[in-house]
Structure 1
Amino acid sequence: MSAFDEAKAQVVQAAQVLELSDKTIASLQTPDRVIKKTLTIKMDNGKTVSYKAFRSQHNKYLGPYKGGIRYHTNVSEDEVKALSLWMSFKTAVAGIPYGGAKGGISLDPKKLSSKELEALSREYGKAFAPYIGPWLDVPAPDVNTNGQIMAWMVDEYEHYLSQKGLQGLQNPRATFTGKPIILGGSQGREEATGLGGFYVLQQLAAKLGKKPKELRVAVQGFGNVAYWFAYFANQAGYKVVSVSNSREGLYVDSGLDPEEVMNRLQEGESLADCVGNEGKIISNEELLALPVDILVPAAIDGVLTKTNIGKVKASVVLELANGPMTVEAEQEFLKNSKNIVVPDILANAGGVVTSYFEWVQNLQGYYWGKEEVFAKLKTIMDQAFANVWEEYQSRKVSMRIAAYVVALKRLLEAHELLN
């Protein structure tokens, strides 16, 4: 099953709970528009190379399209359609005034020089400039993209507005989020997705009647999102016993200090150097099967499948990655009525919520401090969790279906008012 088929299947599950018609379901599954371009740049060796680029604009019932731009070999039309659908539902669950979008370029960015990467990013900015804007579509960083890449695209968008005589009529800084602070980025954006996931964890633990010190947590991944989630969880007293990179994992049964591990990695050491007397190196597959209470896939999609879900010992899977669990795996996992899956569209919404804050700050020209951003993020994430939990309890469905029901209700209400 493709990523887009997975995403559509999740919509169908929730739509059936609300007894929606096939026509309505199809309209909620189908992107408004998919834009495809071929970008050509001159490489450092003088040769010209072309890359496939995409932008899927899924739904704008609730506001401008919103979603990241990723650089990865897996980027395809199918993938961006799936991710844009998830974004529509993620923003709806969070209760922020955005629709869903996703874009990207199919390539391995590690094979490009800095000069080539800039040229390609600027080409993307030029090619897609007619389709974006602060009230139309607001891109952001995603896999293998960052604030610098957004800055190059902002610059290209400003050139586009100038060429069209539109400067002063559009706000180019509010057209992209995830920008460097000096260019209008928001305080707290770096921590946002991991922190938002932590706020969800706190709410779930309270509902389960558990104290942080009673819960063991394994995090697959140790990039930005995984690190900040692990950092805040550890600070709050949860026992974080494992983190990993793409090659291997570090497991310390008595608990590890994510900040210390990250500091050592930044100094050039490896996970193996962090083993110490109590730790050991494990594979990512072994990490998924650790004896923990909460498993947090925070790296890539599709890691929990029908072939390995039976090995998972955790009773809670909290999805910080997009789509880390297949439909079949979730069905198998939830055969145990005590198990819970906290879906990605809720658990990792902190990033887009803080992107919303950045957009608001850009539009009003007034900026908040980090603590204010964190407080506003907590308010929105806590309310989003409460809304999903209410549907979860009252309808006796999975948390994923509950989250999609929350989103569908908002999308349908907006659709009925507009039409």
Structure 2
Amino acid sequence: MKSECLNPLTNAQKEIENACKLLKVSDSAYQILKEPIRFLEVSIPVRMDDGTIRIFKGYRAQHNDAVGPTKGGIRFHQDVNIDEVKALSIWMSFKCSVVGIPFGGAKGGVIVDPNTLSKSELERLSRGYIREIYSIVGPDKDIPAPDVNTNEQIMAWMMDEYSKLSGKNSPGIITGKPIICGGSLGRTQATGYGVALMAYEATKYLNLDIKNCTVSIQGFGNVGSYSALNLHKLGAKIIAVSDSKGGIYKEGGIDINALIEYVKENGSVAGFDDAEQITNDKIFELEADIFVPAALENQITTDIARSIKTKIICEGANGPTTPEADKILYERGIFVVPDILANAGGVTVSYFEWVQNLDNYYWTLEEVEDRQRMIMIEAFKKVYETSNDYKVDMRTGAYITSLNRIYKAMEMRGWV
């Protein structure tokens, strides 16, 4: 029996190849799109608090800029690797185009466990990373953003360092900044808000009443918590939540506001006393109408796909489902809202932040959320129609929708 592929770059390339074949575009398009157009590896010297110098390895991948400047997050994690960064840059290209945003995809990362650094060491690393990639980023080149283990404070340091190097205030270099430094209202909750919107749209297409739906969520960081909060506001009942330290379950529904406060104080959902304690793996076994994977890649494997008990999977994380598992879910009739659509809210509002920075004119929260909702609902409709036209699952429909836009841009530029 063929083993399941867990390499994110290989999986991303398979998805592109499949979409290219279905759209019947030239092989040259696939050859261009299967790898980033640019990949930079850097060594970042950082003076530690004890006076020693430590070298950190960093990366920046820029996948494709046919549609516009590249865009993508920066993650600080001990497991960052080249294939992961390249794959994430590819997914970002398709994520931007599926919602019609004029960006290509990029991604960056530094191999580090930020929990082992002091605040001053973290600041020096953040500034050092931007210095090393300075020549290939900029408001009209490549616009970074926060990702795993990076936040608005780190974005502010990076924006400040770039501004020093360029000799002018440059808020448009980076998104996900604090409001006082040119950030956008609605950016922090944008990804989770979008996941909730897409899950809600899926219920409508499946003739389900969101107010009668139960939800389980894997991962309770920014994306998972705001997904839970917004689904709760829509009337859904959140019955289970897990994170890296454990999980909780309550048949009658978890008090999400109380859970968010608990996690702020304790750093995990584990131990929340108004619910039954469960193991991480148990989250996949529970019966729920909607399941939101909002943790890491490759969480839904073939074994889980065969046994998971849900009607809808709305992917808050990037690449949480393996290609082999995808096929099983489709055959079982489980409706999957793919990551490049479901979690595109973050890059959508990052685009809004960039526009506001360039115009030096800022929008209200209502304006931001209204524009995000309009863009994402229209994207869902387009992907759903495409998947029906080609008789494929929603993920393949999303890739065909995106590829069509990227290919047309490459064609008009004379690349293919």
TM-score normalised by structure 2 residue count: 0.96
**Structure 2 partner of 1:57:** 62
Q: What is the DSSP-based 3-state SS (H/G/I as helix, E as strand, rest coil) of the residue aligned with 1:5?
A: helix
How far residue 199 of structure 1 moved from its aligned partner, in angstroms, is 1.2
The 1-side partners of 2:269 and 2:114 are apart by 24
Aligned counterpart in structure 1 of residue 302 of structure 2, from 298, 306, 309: 306
1:149 correspondence with 2:149: no
The 1-side partners of 2:267 and 2:324 are apart by 38
**Structure 1 partner of 2:231:** 233
Q: What is the DSSP-based 3-state SS (H/G/I as helix, E as strand, rest coil) of the residue aligned with 1:59?
A: coil
How far residue 88 of structure 1 moved from its aligned partner, in angstroms, is 0.2
How far residue 272 of structure 1 moved from its aligned partner, in angstroms, is 4.6
The 2-side partners of 1:114 and 1:271 are apart by 25
**Structure 2 partner of 1:43:** 48
Native 8 Å contact 1:301 1:323 kept in 2? yes
The 2-side partners of 1:323 and 1:289 are apart by 20
Matches within 5 A, 1:166-181: 167=168, 172-181=170-179
Aligned counterpart in structure 1 of residue 144 of structure 2, from 129, 134, 139: 139
Matches within 5 A, 1:185-196: 185-196=183-194
Matches within 5 A, 1:288-307: 288-307=284-303
The 2-side partners of 1:61 and 1:50 are apart by 34
How far residue 270 of structure 1 moved from its aligned partner, in angstroms, is 5.8
The 2-side partners of 1:13 and 1:259 are apart by 42
**Structure 2 partner of 1:244:** 242
Encode CA deviations 1:66-112: one digit per residue, 9 max, x unaligned. 00000001211111100000000000001011000000101111011
Native 8 Å contact 2:202 2:312 kept in 1? no
Native 8 Å contact 1:234 1:257 kept in 2? no
The 1-side partners of 2:25 and 2:363 are apart by 41
Native 8 Å contact 1:250 1:275 kept in 2? no
The 2-side partners of 1:357 and 1:228 are apart by 19
**Structure 2 partner of 1:160:** 165
**Structure 1 partner of 2:121:** 116
Change over 3 Å in CA distance of 1:273–1:75 after alignment to 2: closer
**Structure 2 partner of 1:341:** 336
Native 8 Å contact 1:271 1:281 kept in 2? no
Q: Which amino acid aligns with 1:135?
A: D
Native 8 Å contact 2:271 2:277 kept in 1? no
Encode CA deviations 1:238-257: one digit per residue, 9 max, x unaligned. 11111122111111111112
**Structure 1 partner of 2:222:** 224
Change over 3 Å in CA distance of 1:351–1:269 after alignment to 2: closer
The 2-side partners of 1:415 and 1:268 are apart by 49
Runs of 4+ in 1 over 4 A off after TM superposition: none
Q: What is the DSSP-based 3-state SS (H/G/I as helix, E as strand, rest coil) of the residue aligned with 1:138?
A: strand
The 1-side partners of 2:354 and 2:304 are apart by 40
Q: Which amino acid aligns with 1:379?
A: M
Aligned residues between the structures? 409
**Structure 2 partner of 1:20:** 25
Native 8 Å contact 1:305 1:326 kept in 2? yes
The 2-side partners of 1:273 and 1:327 are apart by 34
Mean CA deviation greater in 264-273 or 409-418: 264-273
**Structure 2 partner of 1:265:** 263
How far residue 185 of structure 1 moved from its aligned partner, in angstroms, is 0.2
Encode CA deviations 1:200-224: one digit per residue, 9 max, x unaligned. 1121111111111221110101111
**Structure 2 partner of 1:325:** 321
Native 8 Å contact 1:32 1:58 kept in 2? yes
The 2-side partners of 1:414 and 1:4 are apart by 23
Q: What is the DSSP-based 3-state SS (H/G/I as helix, E as strand, rest coil) of the residue aligned with 2:148?
A: coil
TM-score normalised by structure 1 residue count: 0.95
How far residue 273 of structure 1 moved from its aligned partner, in angstroms, is 4.1
**Structure 1 partner of 2:78:** 73
Encode CA deviations 1:302-345: one digit per residue, 9 max, x unaligned. 11112332221112211100000111111222221x21211000
Q: What is the DSSP-based 3-state SS (H/G/I as helix, E as strand, rest coil) of the residue aligned with 1:39?
A: strand
Aligned counterpart in structure 2 of residue 406 of structure 1, from 388, 392, 401: 401
How far residue 267 of structure 1 moved from its aligned partner, in angstroms, is 3.6
Q: Which amino acid aligns with 2:77?
A: H
Q: What is the DSSP-based 3-state SS (H/G/I as helix, E as strand, rest coil) of the residue aligned with 1:156?
A: helix
**Structure 2 partner of 1:103:** 108
The 2-side partners of 1:76 and 1:5 are apart by 14
Q: What is the DSSP-based 3-state SS (H/G/I as helix, E as strand, rest coil) of the residue aligned with 1:44?
A: coil
Q: Which amino acid aligns with 2:298?
A: G
Aligned counterpart in structure 2 of residue 256 of structure 1, from 254, 257, 278: 254
How far residue 175 of structure 1 moved from its aligned partner, in angstroms, is 0.9
Mean CA deviation greater in 144-153 or 309-318: 309-318
> CA-atom RMSD, angstroms?
1.3
Native 8 Å contact 2:199 2:337 kept in 1? no
